[in-house]
Chains A and B, each alone.
Chain A
Amino acid sequence: FLNESMSFIGDEQFEGGNKEKRHREKRRDGSKDRRKRANAKRRDRSRADRENEEFEERLGKREKGRRGRVKNDQEAKKREQEGGAGAQVKSGKTAKVKKNIKNEKRRISEKDGKAGERTEKGKKRVESAKKEIATVKHGTRDKTREEKKKKYKENSEDKEVKPESLSPDELEKLKEAVDEKKKLIQSLRGKPWPMKKKLVTLQETLRIQSHDDQGEWKWTLLMLHPKWMKFQRDFENFKTACIPWEMKIKEIESHFGSSVASYFIFLRWMYGINMILFGLTFGLVMVPEALMGRPYGSIPRKTVPRAEEASAMDFAVLWDFGGYAQYSVLFYGFYSNQRAIGWLKFRMPLSYFLVGVGTVAYSYMVVIRTMARNANESGVGDDNSFNFSWKMFTSWDYLIGNPETADNKFASITTCFKEAILEEQESRKDDNIHLTRFLRVLANFLVLCCLAGSGYLIYFVVRRSQKFALDGFENHTWWERNEVNMVMSLLGMFCPMLFDVISTLENYHPRVALQWQLGRIFALFLGNLYTFIIALMDEINVKREEEKIVKFNITMWEASLYNGTVSENFTASPITIHPADVPRGPCWETMVGQEFVRLIISDTMTTYITLLIGDFLRAVLVRFLNHCWCWDLEAGFPSYSEFDVSGNVLGLIFNQGMIWMGAFYAPCLPALNVLRLHVSMYLQCWAVMCCNVPQERVFKASGSNNFYMAMLLVILFLSTLPAIYTIVTIPPSFDCGPFSGKNRMFDVIHETLESDFPAWFSKVFSYASNPGLVLPFILLMVLAIYYLQSTSKSYKEANVELKKKLQMVIQIMKIILLLPTTVNNWQ
Chain B
Amino acid sequence: MGTTASQLDKGMLSEYQELTFLTKQEILLAYKRFSELLPKEETNGISYRIPMNAILELPELKTNPFNERICKVFSTSDSHDGSLNFDDFLDLLSAFSDSATLEIKSHYAFRIFDFDDDGTLGRQDLEKLVNCLTGGTGDTSLTPDEMKQLIDNILEESDIDKDGTVNLSEFQHVISRSPDFVSSFKIVL
Residues of A within 8 A of B (CB): 52-53, 63, 66-67, 69-70, 73, 185, 188-190, 192, 194-196, 198-199, 202, 220-222, 233, 236-237, 240-241, 250, 253-254, 258, 377-381, 383, 385-390, 392-403, 405-407, 410-411, 413-414, 417-418, 421, 424-425, 700-703, 810, 813-814, 817-818
Contact = CB atoms under 8 A, between A and B. Distances in A.
Contacts of A389: 154, 157-158, 174
B76 A52 contact: yes
Contacts of A397: 184
A294 B7 CA distance: 58
Nearest to B90: A195
A52 B80 CA distance: 13
Nearest to A817: B161
A399 B187 contact: yes
A252 B76 CA distance: 33
B19 A195 contact: yes
A816 to B, nearest CB: 9
A379 B177 contact: yes
Contacts of B47: 63
A484 B175 CA distance: 52
26 contacts: A70-B2, A70-B4, A185-B18, A189-B94, A192-B95, A192-B104, A195-B20, A195-B90, A237-B23, A250-B188, A380-B177, A386-B174, A388-B154, A388-B157, A389-B154, A393-B181, A396-B133, A398-B184, A413-B133, A414-B133, A414-B140, A417-B142, A421-B149, A701-B183, A702-B183, A814-B160
A390 B181 CA distance: 8
B32 interface: no
A240 B179 contact: no
B72 to A, nearest CB: 13
Contact of A424 (B64, B91, B153): B153
B134 A393 contact: no
Contacts of B108: 192
Contacts of A421: 142, 146, 149-150, 153
Contacts of A387: 157
B146 A378 contact: no
Contacts of B142: 414, 417-418, 421
Interface of B: 2-4, 9, 11-12, 14-15, 17-21, 23-25, 46-47, 59-60, 62-66, 74, 76, 78, 87-88, 90-91, 94-96, 101, 103-104, 107-109, 113, 126, 129-130, 133-135, 140-142, 146, 149-150, 153-154, 157-158, 160-163, 171, 174-175, 177-188
Contact of B113 (A192, A199, A393): A393
B102 to A, nearest CB: 10
Contact of A410 (B25, B134, B146, B160): B134
Given A202-B19, A386-B177, A702-B180, 12 more contacts: A66-B46, A73-B11, A185-B18, A189-B20, A192-B104, A195-B19, A199-B19, A386-B174, A393-B113, A393-B174, A396-B133, A397-B184
Contacts of B174: 386, 389-390, 393
Contact of A411 (B12, B113, B140): B140
A397 B65 CA distance: 10
From A198, A380, A383, name the one whose CB has the most chain B CB atoms within 10 angstroms.
A198
B134 A413 contact: yes
Contacts of A52: 76
Contact of B76 (A69, A196, A410, A814): A196
B154 A398 contact: no
Closest 4 CB pairs of A and B: A410-B135, A195-B87, A406-B63, A192-B107
Contacts of B134: 410, 413-414, 417
A380 B17 CA distance: 32
B25 A241 contact: yes
Contacts of A403: 62-63
A400 B63 contact: yes
B87 A386 contact: no
B59 to A, nearest CB: 5
B181 A394 contact: yes
Contacts of A414: 133-135, 140-142
A273 to B, nearest CB: 22
Nearest to A393: B175
B10 to A, nearest CB: 10
A401 B129 CA distance: 19
A190 B104 contact: yes
Decide if the interface of chain A is mainly helix, strand, loop or mixed.
helix
Contacts of B185: 394, 398
A250 B186 CA distance: 11
Given A394-B184, A398-B187, A194 B87 contact: yes
A814 B180 contact: no
Nearest to B173: A386
Contacts of A700: 180
A500 to B, nearest CB: 26
A392 B15 contact: no
B184 to A, nearest CB: 5
Given A192-B108, A392-B133, A398-B185, A66 B150 contact: no
B154 A392 contact: yes
A278 B20 CA distance: 38
B183 A195 contact: no
A427 to B, nearest CB: 15
A168 B53 CA distance: 59
A398 B96 contact: yes
Given A185-B18, A190-B104, A417-B142, A237 B133 contact: no
A55 B108 CA distance: 21
A331 B187 CA distance: 48
Contacts of A392: 126, 129-130, 133, 150, 154
Contacts of A254: 59-60
From A188, A414, A701, A813, name the one whose CB has the most chain B CB atoms within 10 angstroms.
A414
B18 to A, nearest CB: 6
B11 A394 contact: no
A323 B137 CA distance: 67
A393 B178 contact: yes
A240 B23 contact: yes
Nearest to A397: B184
B47 to A, nearest CB: 6
Contact of B21 (A189, A199, A406): A189
A702 B74 CA distance: 28
A196 B87 contact: yes
A73 B62 CA distance: 40
B74 to A, nearest CB: 8
Nearest to A66: B12
Nearest to B107: A192
Contacts of B153: 388, 421, 424
B167 to A, nearest CB: 13
A402 B63 contact: yes
Contacts of A192: 95, 103-104, 107-108
Contact of B149 (A53, A69, A407, A424): A424
A52 B73 CA distance: 13
Nearest to B63: A406
Contact of A198 (B19, B149, B184): B19
Contact of A818 (B3, B66, B126, B162): B162
Nearest to B12: A66
B162 A817 contact: yes
Contacts of A406: 63-65
B146 A258 contact: no
A408 to B, nearest CB: 10
B157 A386 contact: yes
B103 to A, nearest CB: 6
A731 B142 CA distance: 71
B63 to A, nearest CB: 4
Given A66-B12, A380-B177, A414-B140, A401 B63 contact: yes
A202 B60 contact: no
